[in-house]
Chains A and B, each alone.
Chain A
Amino acid sequence: MKALNRKLWRDVWRMKGQVFAVTLVVMSGVATFIMFISTIDSLNLTRNTFYRDYGFADVFVNLKRAPESLKDKIKNIPGVNQIETRVSAYVKLDIAGFTEPVTARILSIPDDGRPLLNRLCIRKGRLADPAKDNEVVINENFAKAHGFDPGDQFAAVINGKWKRLTITGIALSPEFVLLMRPEAISPDFKRFGILWMGRKALSKSYNMDGAFNDVVLTLYPHAKLSDILVELDNIVEPYGGFGAYGREDQISHRMLNEEFRQLQKSSKIFPTIFICVAAFLLNVVMSRTINTQREQIAALKAFGYNNIDVGIHYAKLVILILFTGLILGIAGGIWFGNMLGAIYMEVYRFPYLIYILHPEVIIAAILISVLSALAGTYHSLRRAARQRPAEGMRPEPPAKYRVTLIEKTGIGRRLTQPTKIIARNIERRPVRTFLSIVGIAVACATMISSGFFKDSIAYTVNFRFVLSQKEDMTVAFAEPTSRKALFELKSLPGVNNAETFRNVPAKLRFGHRSYKTVINGIEQDGRMHLLLDENLKTVPVPSSGIVLADYLGKILGIKAGDMLTVEILEGSKPVRQMPVVALAKQYIGVTGYMDLTALNRLMKEGDAISGAYLFTDSNYREKLFRRFVNMPRVSGTVVRKDEIRNFTEVQARAMLFFTFIATLMACFISFGVVYNSARIALSERSRELSSLRVLGYTRGEISYILLGELGLLTLVAIPLGFFIGYWLCAYIAQALASDLYRVPLIIEMKTYSLSAAVVLASATVSGLIVRHKLDHLDLVEVLKTRE
């Protein structure tokens, strides 16, 4: 059927305006799909390969101190495969040229330099000499942040004594793919690092000869994790165990999982919208094409082409229209995927990024778009295939115009003829009109949903760091300390005010559900750390009982007034029942809040504090940092400004990147949809408009008929788009929520107006193009060929 195929190509060429519009949208859908899926696959493969090659552990536990002989007992737990004991401690560092205190976790490596588990991938230099207590290997993010190279030195407080340490090497570890201080909300590579020192040297410094305080295990494939955790906890309990946990609760692994989960969700939401819009556009394009070609179809049938030939012919047309979008989308997806992967690599440290794009993913992208395109055009294709040959013989009967609203209401008499034509045309094809409005509205909604991420991140930052946690610096003590330390802090020059807090790890239980988190004890009448509800009203800290983050309430299925079981995981490990007094809004992490005094009472440890929140005078900040570096009990500081920066630049970076991509794609969609309806209207009406021109109507007047209608549809579509956009964002917010983050449903005015502006701009550009075509309408040509 060569001649038929030639018709195909020429039809595509003739429809290039519409093909372009569809291409933009298909490209967007396929590119985002490929970007997300290939990034997920690549990160997953990279992570799994890294974990496997470097022996990432399955189970982790910290304890106070246990004799090495306990190792065998742990190893005998059924299901345990490999075991490694370690010495671990938190240390404070002083780095030349960096005024702030820096915290690090120091970990032992076996004296033969070959850990069994969580092996190091040395990127530069060499391992530390196991016998030397002044040599360390440091992790790469930390080294990069400070510009360290092997041979550089810094000072550290090792077990209370200042010591100069020399860097021998720079390494990666599967345990710290994402490096984050426990309890922090985002990584801070400058102020938190990992050091590795030989076991012999580190044990000596911490009096841990023949003992350990950290264990990592791997399990046999079918071992049951929960059983092993219970047994392990029982074994280490007498030695001050802090509670064993599996990979799922290991901070680096957990953050990665969270990122994957968000990618996974996004990979479903965005491409789905794009593909649906593409199918919708194709539907409009094809139903229009098949309508105008009914006489051609009749001729083909009359000459003996059968239903299947005709159906296939138009299905091929659909696929041809898809084709360019598919190819560009695949290429764009690979490009974006590599870019997104590179962004992740700045935060997540793997020795390499294995970028993979499974052929199945491309096949899936092709199948999904082809199938949805065919589904979207099924009705038209079927109509073409089934068209009775005799039907197309006669020209299409003149459109049926009824007496419409404008006549009934009498408005008609006041309208000019062109305005009446607009009104009748809209009324005559209610379904088409409705679909065009929905199409433009969805484009507008997509714009809103991509702007929404920015708004919600900004709101989260404002809520957390400006409205709720007002302190500009937090000082943490190495160990719970007497409240007297507060007076020392307050007397420091540059400290304007200080409030104390106590953090304790706890397991919260309600019914059969439980959750491990931190209870933050704060001063009841404090003014720096405020609990807020959804409407930004302060939730008072009760003298007794606990306030939970709202999402924690959801996880536990508990509401205000219910009794919660609190198991403290530190000190004497008291277990207590207490009422949940209120739920407070929290977007990052989930925490329980108590009055500091009440928490101390519960802990039976007097007036101990973990640290203090400070209001400081920025002129004295450098001096304050130096004081903290030299105060033995201060383990580190957190500056709010840095936290904000880390959160937006490091944590939210990937999200902002794909928000950017989504915004770009949303612009494409918006233009594609609007331009397509303009083009369709043009080709559908050019005969009518040419006739009017022949009757003496001006270009301006006929443009008004066509563009007036487009403008009217756009104006109706925008508010509908706002509405759909809001619900789309609500769905996204709900889909992305986890215990680590919740995305607040905040859409700023400027996001709405920007979306409206993009849609209007698309309409204007489309309008100008169509207007240009109208101005060059070849009257003779149009009137001569019958459509």
Chain B
Amino acid sequence: MIGKEEETHNPGDVVFQVRDLTKIYKMGEVEVHALRGADLELYSGELVVFLGPSGSGKSTLLNILGGLDTATSGSVSYRGKDLTGAGEKELTEYRRFHVGFVFQFYNLIPSLTARENVAIVTEIAVNPMVPEDALALVGLTERLDHFPAQLSGGEQQRVAIARAISKNPEVLLCDEPTGALDSKTGIVVLEALERINRELGTATAIITHNADIAGMADRVVHLSNGRIADVKENRVKKSPGELKW
């Protein structure tokens, strides 16, 4: 058990500051309100788990934090820099140098091997790991030259994580990283994430449907219907090994 003091974060440690964020998808006549005024801070070095029913806006929020999408209104700032007003070019640089992504659906490049799927990121990063090291962190040393189609779902997800962490990002955003995995593999994946968070101090956000995973978080954020319904701090943080589901 890793105990942690309850603390008040000082303003210098704020990684993301989200204010009154809304996102409306227009689909012809229909408007879908994916986010309806979310307010949130994320602090450096912390591990946050997002919970919430399907359609509550988790992926939307994460995408906006990661600079993949832009909000309809409200503001997001990353280390004091406003992302809401950022152009295509700034967002690309932001993604390139600061953010690591793990997608709900892996999004590996099918024509590249595990190693190459990581290399495709390290090649454009500033201070990256060696692809092999990143894959070793997720326990895939044996699968370096396998194509995604030759890997199981869990292995594909681990490649995706290796790819996300390989650039040593300042923030790691993971959308259901264990969604497709059995509990044993899920724990391996979570251990990798926890290790990165602990060893490198990478601020990490994890979306999940699995309330049990919340145990390993510093804070747990509940979304509901496009709003932040509740933020809970874990007094006691479990290690992934202790999780069960």
Contact = CB atoms under 8 A, between A and B. Distances in A.
- To the question of whether A and B form a pair in one complex, the answer is yes
A393 B92 contact: no
A699 B152 CA distance: 28
B120 A3 contact: yes
B101 A2 contact: no
A302 B93 CA distance: 10
A585 interface: no
Nearest to B166: A303
A3 to B, nearest CB: 4
A334 to B, nearest CB: 35
A298 B107 contact: yes
B111 A295 contact: no
B109 A303 contact: no
B107 A295 contact: yes
Given A306-B92, A785-B148, A2 B119 contact: yes
Contact of A786 (B105, B109, B120): B105
A3 B101 contact: no
A7 interface: yes
A3 B63 contact: no
Given A303-B96, A303-B124, A306-B89, A7 B109 contact: yes
Contacts of B103: 299, 302, 393
Interface in A289-331: 295-296, 298-307
Given A10-B112, A393-B104, A301 B124 contact: no
Nearest to B96: A304
A303 B120 contact: yes
A600 to B, nearest CB: 85
In order of increasing CB-CB distance, the 9 nearest A-B pairs are A304-B96, A390-B69, A10-B111, A299-B107, A3-B120, A389-B68, A3-B119, A390-B68, A306-B92
B89 A3 contact: no
Interface string B177-191: 000000000000000
B127 to A, nearest CB: 14
Contacts of B148: 785
A14 B59 CA distance: 32
A390 B107 contact: no
Contact of B68 (A295, A393, A395): A393
Contacts of A11: 111
A6 B101 CA distance: 22
12 contacts: A4-B120, A4-B123, A302-B66, A303-B120, A304-B93, A304-B124, A305-B96, A307-B88, A390-B68, A392-B107, A393-B59, A395-B105
B149 interface: yes
Interface string A265-309: 000000000000000000000000000000110111111111100
Given A6-B116, A389-B69, A785-B149, A303 B95 contact: yes
B58 to A, nearest CB: 12
A316 to B, nearest CB: 14
B110 interface: yes
Interface string B62-74: 0100111100000
A392 B117 CA distance: 17
Interface size of A as a range: 20 to 34
Interface string B154-181: 0000000001000100000001000000
B236 interface: no
Contact of B92 (A2, A295, A299, A304): A304
B47 interface: no
A392 B107 CA distance: 9
A399 interface: no
Contact of A302 (B68, B89, B110, B111): B68
Contacts of B117: 3
B149 A303 contact: no
Contacts of A296: 107, 109-110
Contacts of B121: 303-304
B26 to A, nearest CB: 14
Interface string A624-667: 00000000000000000000000000000000000000000000
B43 interface: no
A304 B97 contact: yes
Interface in B90-148: 92-93, 95-97, 99, 101, 103-105, 107-112, 116-117, 119-121, 123-125, 148
B93 A300 contact: no
Contacts of A7: 109, 111-112, 116, 120
A382 to B, nearest CB: 14
B103 to A, nearest CB: 6
A299 B104 CA distance: 11
A253 interface: no
Contacts of B124: 1, 303-305
B71 to A, nearest CB: 11
Contacts of A2: 119, 123
A68 B56 CA distance: 109
A360 interface: no
Nearest to A389: B68
A3 B122 CA distance: 10
Interface in A388-418: 388-390, 392-395
A680 B138 CA distance: 37
B112 A303 contact: no
Nearest to B67: A389
A781 B120 contact: no
Nearest to A386: B88
Contact of A14 (B88, B111, B116, B163): B111
Which of B92, B108, B123 is the most central at the interface, judged by chain A CB atoms within 10 Å of its CB?
Answer: B92
Contact of A1 (B95, B123, B163, B167): B123
Contacts of B88: 306-307
A785 B63 contact: no
Nearest to A10: B111
A448 B226 CA distance: 63
A784 B148 CA distance: 10
Contacts of B101: 299, 302-303
A298 B175 CA distance: 14
Contacts of A14: 111
Contacts of A3: 112, 116-117, 119-120, 123
B123 A302 contact: no
Contacts of B69: 388-390
Given A10-B111, A307-B88, A785-B110, A393 B123 contact: no
A785 B105 CA distance: 11
Contact of B63 (A6, A299, A300, A393): A393
A301 B67 CA distance: 10
Interface in A491-550: none
Contacts of A299: 101, 103, 107-109
A6 B107 contact: no
Contact of B120 (A300, A307, A393): A300
A775 B127 CA distance: 49
A302 B66 CA distance: 8
Interface string A1-34: 1111011001100100000000000000000000
Contacts of B123: 1-4
B145 to A, nearest CB: 12
Given A303-B120, A785-B148, A393 B105 contact: yes
Given A3-B119, A388-B68, 6 more contacts: A10-B112, A303-B163, A304-B95, A389-B69, A393-B68, A393-B103
A6 to B, nearest CB: 6
A392 B68 CA distance: 10
Nearest to A304: B96
A781 to B, nearest CB: 7
B93 A301 contact: no
A356 B126 CA distance: 52
Nearest to B120: A3
Nearest to A12: B111
Nearest to A294: B107
Contacts of A303: 95-96, 101, 120-121, 124, 163, 167
